[in-house]
């Protein structure tokens, strides 16, 4: 099951990452109007989440050896990734949400 999600999020990561690269190239060359800037500000969190999930699954698959699921390893990898995701979401909306 982990290999399916690893492959799925690998596709999401590469598609979103490539679209960011293309949008940045369009933005720097003044092509596409405001659409590249909109894409880079809208899709940053989905790219970050796909990156964390893909990276976490890659780390789990490289460290795990055996047929049984290692819940200790899952929590050891997931807790820092969840903390990093929450921190990134907070910093992304820091200036836009009134406190």
At 60-89, the pLDDT tens digits run 999 998 888 889 999 999 999 999 999 999
**The pLDDT of residue 99:** 66
How far apart, in whole angstroms, are the C-alpha atoms of residue 54 and residue 59? 9
The pLDDT, as a whole number, for residue 95 is 80
Confidence of residue 97 (pLDDT cuts 50, 70, 90): confident
**Whole-angstrom Cα distance, residue 41 to residue 93?**
11
As a whole number, the mean pLDDT across the chain is: 92
Q: What's the CA angle centered on 43, arms 93 and 1, to 5 degrees?
A: 110
- The span from the CA of 87 to the CA of 40, in Å, is 19
């Amino acid at each position: 099951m982990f290999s399916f999600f690893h492959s799925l999020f690998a596709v999401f990561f590469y598609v979103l990452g490539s679209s960011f690269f293309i949008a940045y190239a369009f933005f720097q060359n003044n092509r596409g109007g405001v659409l590249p800037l909109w894409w880079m500000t809208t899709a940053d969190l989905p790219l970050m989440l796909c990156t964390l999930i893909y990276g976490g699954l890659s780390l789990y698959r490289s460290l795990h050896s055996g047929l049984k699921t290692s819940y200790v390893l899952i929590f050891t990898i997931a807790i820092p990734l969840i903390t990093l995701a929450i921190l990134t979401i907070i910093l992304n909306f820091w200036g836009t949400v009134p406190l």
